[in-house]
Structure 1
Amino acid sequence: MRKKIFAVWSWGATCLTMVGCMKSKDDRIRATVIEFNKLSPQIRNEVFRNAEAEASNDTIKISFVLNAYPDEVDKPTYNKVGPAMLAGMVKQLPDSESLLDEGVKFQVIYMANDGTEILNKVLGKSQIVALTEDKSRFFNANSGKPIPGSKSRLAPDMKESLRMMNQNLPIVDKEAGTSVTRIDVNEKNELVYTVEVTDELADALTTEGTLDLVREEIIQDPNLRRMFPSILRMGIEVVHYEYVNKKGKLVADVRITQNDL
């Protein structure tokens, strides 16, 4: 379940606004590719080894190389979240509507560090429109709550990344009995995951000693260690897990700082 959380956050951290400003379609495609590649060094971190865009006819291909071997990658999560996050990125482009109207497609490829393909999707206008509709369970379950990141000190583009991440929740792990229903950065600039748990797991979390075991398991996870340097650069020093029952009531929580690792 934690690997899925980290994958989602890493996606959000790479959602950068790209700008195209030329008039012709070919010029706008080239400008988009150039701008993305200028920004790609900012994407490289403990999770992403490289990111690169290129154009082929009327398709803009964006490739991400992960700092992970194939058996370390949660492929179902990338397949679920990856296309939607790319769609959200595309929607930020000033010329995205005109490019899509003219038949331009966007292809996203994720690869492990040995070149193994994790995800390869091509998105046209209809897919991007469908993926960016606010129809996820998150928006129903969290109606009336502040927009994720609205109380944080994050930069505007990262707040938009949070919004897009939440639009594509929940992330369900049936085996673990958990669903990530909200990802937020609060007024303390803590990264907060709201994790809905089954009734059985909710009872277990209130049992003496169980939460200590959960905390220790989180601390020992290498994915958290990889993620922390990236979020520290965003001014985030605490990762906060809130475990809630089916009614949304808090049953337990865990806070992790770099000093715990």
Structure 2
Amino acid sequence: MHIGIVGLGLIGGSLALDWRRAGHTITGVSRSGETVALAQERGVIDRGGLEVSLLHPCEVVVLCVPLDRLVAMAIAVCPHLKPDAILTDVGSVKAPVVQAITPFWPGFIGGHPMAGTAEQGIQAAQPHLFRQRPYVLTPTPQSDPRQLAQLQTLIQALGAQEFLCDPHAHDRAVAWISHLPIWVSAALLGAFAQEPDPQIYALAQQLASSGWRDTTRVGGGNPELGVCLVHYNRENILRGLRQYQQELAQVIGMVEQQDIAALTAYLHHSQGLRHNHRLDQEIGSSPA
């Protein structure tokens, strides 16, 4: 199969690596000639360039650009595609993207591989990044079953865990487990920064270990990503923030009342929830 990858960063480059090793032909498109040259040098792509017209022979095209550039890129790419080409993306919000693109390209099927690393760019691309990681597809009732089956075959070749769901269901689910944690983590960092005693603040920084690092990691990430997620998934993030606010208010009340029995029961309950969510198993590291 001839696959086009638009955007040769960590995700696009890693997809290209795996699919090329599986025997597919890969055409890569990037805004940077240096990136294209490096991708060819590393054996990530078969051919590449800066022009989206290179995608015309491709049977499948994957848009691996930032969320706020997806629709504009689809508009630029579609005039160059074959009529039966499959178009998909890797964005972490699906409903508004699907709603924007499918009217002018019915063969668009939203996608979201939930994997990543802290590194970015073509230099970070690696084989097997998606192995045993969730890869979501969000077909609509209008999606061609044969095209969906072709995408599913490609995802299976990655060794990923394939999920099919409605775009709106996807966005509500990832708001809880990916988007909301960014803002919870950022708020914790902001609260800590308000410690009025500089000596206490410095001491806490020196004493901080893995628990603090894990809890605040996503809040210290890419600011543009967090704001972009709010722009495209605002209602679901707001719903989560308000529910979280209610939980905090409940905890504050129990602490103020020194209700040890209620606090103990609350933590036993949360312990059980975490166990049921199987969060101690290895999971994807992407915040989005």
Q: TM-score of the superposition, structure 2-length normalised?
A: 0.28
Question: Of the two, which has the highest radius of gyration?
Answer: 2
Larger relative strand fraction: 1
Larger relative helix fraction: 2
